[in-house]
Chains A and B, each alone.
Chain A
Amino acid sequence: MSEQTIIDEIKTEENLVYKKPEALKDTPFHYCPGCAHGVVHRLIAEVIDEMGIQSETIGVAPVGCSVFAYNYIDVDMTEAAHGRASAVATGIKRVLPDRLVFSYQGDGDLAAIGTGETIHTCNRGENVLIIFINNGIYGMTGGQMAPTTLENMKSTTTPFGRDVSVMGYPLKITELVAALPGTQYVTRQAVYKPGLVRKTKKAIRKSFELQKENKNGTCFIEVVANCPSNWKMTPVESNKWLEENMLPFYQLGDIKTPNGRK
């Protein structure tokens, strides 16, 4: 039997256990091995498929490693200037209120250069979803300190570790936006274990559902993520490091839900 026939025999509907979501393009991810961006992209695509919302969804890509998110996620997308994704999302949502709009941003993008836009988008209660990938570092530009870099954590611009007396403190922007009346759902998730991946997907789905159902404000999902390349670790080491160092500070779970604070 030729290889192709074997493949054809296996490739039948009843044998299907896993496939690429329709809302993911065929472009191979450019992300480093072990990076969380690809996992979260996939989750967004899965939710879009399952909810059947591809034609209503408009995304906004940031400047950062996920600047090319539009090459992967198969919906109409706009690539924003560094930090401005939530303002761009606001512009889209304000003129197309019946579309489902999300921004996808890194920690430098969302919590340093774009802090103003983040806070005010959430404070206006824009009915958009903000997905925030917190890898504690500037990935795209090669590992500089991020606003979320942990105390004593090394980066190329904190080569001896982040000295908070000089560089300030790691910023818990998610708790900050949860305190704003404009947000309706604020949660912190991770994707380094299968169970957590499922939870993150649920959070994404819930956010799109809330955006579709009501106009009660911004949904905000932080995903605590690794950056093996710039943390200078293997993917496995980076996940372990994330669990042992990032999670005690950035604790997982819902911070605010539509039915009241948690």
Chain B
Amino acid sequence: MSKLKLMKGNEALAEAAIRAGCDAYFGYPITPQSEVLEYLSREANKRTGMTVLQAESEIASINMVYGAAGTGKKIMTSSSSPGISLMQEGISYIACAELPCLIVNVNRGGPGLGTIQPAQSDYFQSVKGGGHGDYRLIVLAPSTVQEMSDFVKLAFELAFKYRNPIMILTDGALGQMMEKVELFEQQPREDIITGWETIGKPEDRPSNVITSLHIKPDKMEEINIHLQEKYKKMEENEVRVETIDCDDADYIITGYGLVARICTKAAQLARDKGLKVGVIRPITLFPFPYKTYFDIADNVKGILDVEMNAGQMIEDVRLAVNGKIPIEFYGRMGGMVPTPEEILEALETKLIGGKDE
């Protein structure tokens, strides 16, 4: 009896939310992620009693998440780029107040209203803060429909481990495409009350307050130091990265999410031509796998960074490699997806040195 199902990325993610024991979802329709809200509206409440509410905006959604996450329950929202932009103030509040929750960004091409086609142009926004103030989210970048499901469970585990918002950063193609997925077992919806939650104050404890306001600068600095220490722990413990055929590689192609799969295909094409090419796929974009790049840089001649944007993750790759080897970039923007052939050509012309050079 096979547990395999054929599902759209967005639906696998929604199904995973139900199975992870998520207590509530608040969201607003936007292509290419509306299936998450639709699927949950159809399935969630009748199966687990999960709350699903279509809010009047992404601003309302994220603030509902803020309120609900303050009760210690498993809470999530999802949106796509313009909607995620609207949520940034709320995400900053949630990060400062240290509330666990899951935010999913099914990235589409921008800037502005842009396009509904897939893109990775929200890397900076997701990884470097996005909203105001010094804060970080753990950012998970799935590259298969399977990971769209698995990372929901992982995200909730990390959210509660660190009392921090977690982002799944994916794109319109992964959200829309169908693949086989093995779903994990239904988890119970259970309250994990540890003492900080705003759930009604019993007589024997002082009232709990969830706030991001600390008007005295010394106190606010203390909060910041605490947050930075937490982010440091994430950097120490939560880096996730996949390396493919890197052991004997002369060159590396790197990309995350959907692009990593295209890079893997490009690397195969390169090997068919006798070029030894490996792939580095960061799975956590924050914390970023700096060390992997730094170490591999001693053994390879160069890295081609491929993204569906104008070059954002490449800044972290450069930081990681710290000038040891050349790093080149190949990107498509505005909803265009690179082909393996394009990537191979970029590798040959930009990094290895073109035939006509």
Write the residues of chain A forming the contact surface with B, with a CB cutoff of 8 angstroms.
25, 54-58, 60-61, 67-68, 70, 74-81, 84, 87-92, 94-96, 99, 116-117, 120
Query: Do A79 and B60 touch (CB < 8 A)?
Result: no
> Cα distance A22–B324 when bound, in Å?
66
Which residues in B have their C-beta under 8 angstroms from that of A99?
A: 199-200
Q: Which 5 A-B pairs have the closest CB atoms?
A: A91-B67, A88-B67, A91-B64, A91-B68, A87-B63
**Known A76-B200, A91-B63, A91-B70; 18 more pairs at CB < 8 Å:** A55-B200, A75-B200, A77-B209, A78-B70, A79-B209, A79-B210, A80-B63, A84-B66, A84-B90, A87-B61, A87-B67, A88-B64, A92-B70, A94-B64, A94-B68, A95-B24, A95-B51, A120-B55
Q: Jot down 12 A-B pairs with beta carbons below 8 A, ordered by A.
A: A55-B202, A58-B200, A76-B201, A78-B210, A78-B211, A79-B210, A80-B63, A87-B60, A90-B60, A95-B71, A99-B200, A120-B55
Given A79-B212, A88-B66, A116-B56, check contact A94 B51 (CB 8 Å). Answer: yes
Query: Do B71 and A92 touch (CB < 8 A)?
Result: yes
Return A147 CB to nearest CB of chain B, in Å: 18
Query: Do A79 and B213 touch (CB < 8 A)?
Result: yes
Given A76-B209, A87-B55, A94-B53, check contact A117 B200 (CB 8 Å). Answer: no
Query: Do B210 and A96 touch (CB < 8 A)?
Result: no
> Cα distance A99–B72 when bound, in Å?
14
Which residues in A have their C-beta under 8 angstroms from that of B71?
A: 92, 95-96
CB < 8 Å neighbour of B207 from A56, A68, A74, A91: A74
> Cα distance A76–B90 when bound, in Å?
20
Given A77-B209, A77-B210, A79-B212, check contact A92 B57 (CB 8 Å). Answer: no
Given A55-B203, A88-B67, check contact A116 B198 (CB 8 Å). Answer: no
Return A228 CB to nearest CB of chain B, in Å: 22
Return A227 CB to nearest CB of chain B, in Å: 20
Give B92's nearest chain A residue, CB to CB.
A81
Which residues in A have their C-beta under 8 angstroms from that of B73?
A: 95
Which residues in A have their C-beta under 8 angstroms from that of B53?
A: 90, 94
Which residues in B have their C-beta under 8 angstroms from that of A67?
A: 213
Give A88's nearest chain B residue, CB to CB.
B67
Query: Do A58 and B56 touch (CB < 8 A)?
Result: no
B59 at the interface (CB under 8 A from A): yes
> Cα distance A233–B53 when bound, in Å?
46
Which residues in B have their C-beta under 8 angstroms from that of A95?
A: 23-24, 51, 68, 71, 73, 75
Which residues in B have their C-beta under 8 angstroms from that of A56?
A: 200
Query: Do B207 and A70 touch (CB < 8 A)?
Result: yes
Which residues in A have their C-beta under 8 angstroms from that of B213?
A: 67-68, 79
Which residues in B have their C-beta under 8 angstroms from that of A70?
A: 207, 209, 211
> Cα distance A89–B59 when bound, in Å?
14
Which residues in B have their C-beta under 8 angstroms from that of A76?
A: 197-201, 207-209
Query: Do B202 and A89 touch (CB < 8 A)?
Result: no
Query: Do A58 and B64 touch (CB < 8 A)?
Result: no
Query: Do A81 and B89 touch (CB < 8 A)?
Result: yes
Given A70-B211, A87-B55, check contact A92 B198 (CB 8 Å). Answer: yes
CB < 8 Å neighbour of A91 from B26, B197, B200, B208: B26
Give B23's nearest chain A residue, CB to CB.
A95
Given A74-B201, A76-B200, check contact A116 B67 (CB 8 Å). Answer: no
Query: Do A81 and B93 touch (CB < 8 A)?
Result: yes
B313 at the interface (CB under 8 A from A): no
Query: Do B51 and A80 touch (CB < 8 A)?
Result: no
Return A24 CB to nearest CB of chain B, in Å: 11
> Cα distance A92–B200 when bound, in Å?
11
Within B42-63, the residues touching A (CB, 8 Å) are 51, 53, 55-57, 59-61, 63
Interface centre among A25, A56, A88, A99, by most chain B C-beta atoms within 10 angstroms, is A88
Query: Do B59 and A116 touch (CB < 8 A)?
Result: yes
Query: Do A90 and B67 touch (CB < 8 A)?
Result: yes
Give B196's nearest chain A residue, CB to CB.
A76
> Cα distance A81–B89 when bound, in Å?
8
B13 at the interface (CB under 8 A from A): no
> Cα distance A55–B201 when bound, in Å?
4
Return B32 CB to nearest CB of chain A, in Å: 25
> Cα distance A61–B93 when bound, in Å?
14
Given A67-B213, A76-B207, A95-B51, check contact A120 B60 (CB 8 Å). Answer: yes
B159 at the interface (CB under 8 A from A): no
B168 at the interface (CB under 8 A from A): no
